[in-house]
Amino acid sequence: MTKKKMTPVLVTTSHRGVFFGYTNDYSGNTIMLKDARMCIYWSADVKGCFGLAATGPSSGCKVGPKADIQVRNVTAVALCSDDAVAAWEKAPWR
């Protein structure tokens, strides 16, 4: 399935991982993400991890490169806005 048909989500884990990526199924404790990125650090202007789903990372954040991953021990899944998706795709690293 193409990325355009997949849902962009922000996923948090019990290990404090914060990931953005695309998936066809965001139910369950384990989620497969395509073109996933990990947010290593987000700045205060983002207003917390759910700000990453609402507006995406800003230039003060650190976002890693893309990888196809399996995320385990999922604690939350948030659907991402179009603005957030555009910001995640820029992958800021300050």
Domains defined for the chain, CATH in brackets: 3-90 (2.30.30.100)
Q: How many CA atoms lie within 13 A of 8 on its CB side?
A: 20
Model pLDDT, residue 1: 45
Model pLDDT, residue 4: 59
Both tokens assigned to 50:
């759910």
Using one digit for the tens of pLDDT, what is the confidence trace for 80-94? 999 999 999 998 887
Rg of the chain (C-alpha set) = 12
Model pLDDT, residue 3: 52
Whether residue 12 contacts residue 74, with contact meaning beta carbons closer than 8 Å, is answered with yes
Q: Is 80 helix (H, G, I), strand (E, B) or coil?
A: coil
The stretches in the chain having pLDDT less than 50 are 1
- Cα 67 to chain centroid distance, Å, stands at 12
Bridge partners, 32 (sequence order): 70
Model pLDDT, residue 17: 96
